Amino acid sequence: MKLATTMKSAGLVALATVVIAGCSTPGDGSSTATNSLPEGAKAKIGFSQATQQSPFYVSLTDAATAEAQAQGNELLNVDANGDVTKQNNDVQDLITRGINVLIINPVDPKGIAPALAAAEAAGVKVVTVDRPIDSGAESFVGRDNKAMGQLVGEAMVETLGQAGGKVIEIQGDAGGTVAKDRSDGFHAAADAASNITIVEGPYANYIRSEAVTAMQDLLQANPDVKAVYAHNDDMALGALQVLQENNRTDVKVFGVDGLMEAVKAIADGDQYVATASNDPGSEGQKAVQTAIAVANGDSVESFVDAGTALVDKSNAESLVGDTTFAESSAQ
């Protein structure tokens, strides 16, 4: 079944002031931070970003910074550059600089245990964004990446139809929960079609240049490929570049994130078929709003869903704009 216009409802930050001891993990309901700021005080927010080597993460950081400034709060950004050891050290530095609450996009959900321990020892509450952790956070702000992968997978199955064929999957990062979820959701749709075979390609770390290199080898090894699915649009566009350079306009391309360059390619042509929206702007805004609520001692949902929808030929033109990603508010 095609779900081109399905829009997940965005999670809302509850602003009730009931104080609940302890912290929760995604799915536990809600929690309330203790040690709240004095009434009227502004928050000093630390933001530990996993990397800035993708347009998505750059936009996420920019949106978080803008939201914090708009509300008169201070936000201190640090970039782990994909290094979990650096991320743990960065968090310790943020704590030393006197933050009231920490937003973290973990390089490795398990590898940031030292950072979480340091935050707990300092009485600094934690909000995760984009990638969840098993425990230790008041709230996770992000999206259901399995649902996103499944939306795109269903579009791919419908596009290939009865002919089916071989599909190359270009993966995100090894061990990453986002990559695993986007793969699992995609496979849930693709594996149900007996006429489709998935070739799992290498991890290209969500970086276009790495996907270009990977796709050059994958295309040579799989000349009978019918479609490519990448865990983000940046990698999908890298695969598209290689396909077009080799005059393989017959191969369909699918991605995730709603990167505007991909949305325009969907609107203007037939080779790039679909993506799933993942607006980093709304995600960054909600992360800061949630962190401020936590700092103020307000109750928050354990999972704040920023929402998603399929972007394909039916709606891509209406989503085209001058932003880096298709905006959730436009859907």
Domain containing 126 — which CATH number?
Answer: 3.40.50.2300
Asked if 43 and 92 sit in the same domain, the reply is: yes
- Residue 216 in any domain: the answer is yes
Q: Are residues 241 and 302 in the same domain?
A: no
pLDDT of residue 35: 54
Asked if 242 and 168 sit in the same domain, the reply is yes
In this structure, the answer to whether residues 42 and 129 fall within a common structural domain is yes
User: 165 with 256, same domain?
Assistant: yes
Could you tell me the mean pLDDT of each successive run of 10 residues in the chain, 331 residues long? Answer: 34 30 36 58 95 91 97 96 97 97 95 97 97 94 96 98 97 91 97 96 96 98 98 98 98 97 98 96 96 96 94 97 81 40
Task: Mention every residue, 6+ apart, whose C-beta is less than 8 A from residue 161.
Answer: none
> What string of H, E and C letters represents the secondary structure of the chain?
CCCCCCCCCCCCCCCCCCCCCCCCCCCCCEEECCCCCCCCCCCEEEEEECCCCCHHHHHHHHHHHHHHHHCCCEEEEEECCCCHHHHHHHHHHHHHCCCCEEEECCCCCCCCHHHHHHHHHHCCEEEEECCCCCCCCCEEEECCHHHHHHHHHHHHHHHHHHHCEEEEEEECCCCCHHHHHHHHHHHHHHCCCCCEEEEEEEECCCCHHHHHHHHHHHHHHCCCEEEEEECCHHHHHHHHHHHHHCCCCCCEEECCECEHHHHHHHHHCCCEEEEEECCHHHHHHHHHHHHHHHHCCCEEECEEECCCCEECCCCHHHHCCCCCECCHHHC
Q: 315 lies in a domain?
A: no
Supply the pLDDT for residue 308: 92
**Residue 77 in domain:** yes
Query: How many folded domains does the chain comprise?
Result: 2
Q: How many Cβ atoms sit within 10 Å of the Cβ of residue 99?
A: 25
Based on the domain organization, do 54 and 72 belong to the same domain? yes
Residue 188 shares a structural domain with residue 293? no
Regarding whether 204 and 55 lie in a shared domain, the answer is no
Same domain, 115 and 164: no
Tell whether 51 and 168 lie within a shared domain. no
Q: Which residue range(s) make up the domain with 175?
A: 145-276
pLDDT of amino acid 36: 67
Is residue 9 in a domain? no
The verdict on residue 331 lying in a domain is: no
The answer on 73 and 62 residing in a single domain is yes
Same-domain status, 54 and 167: no
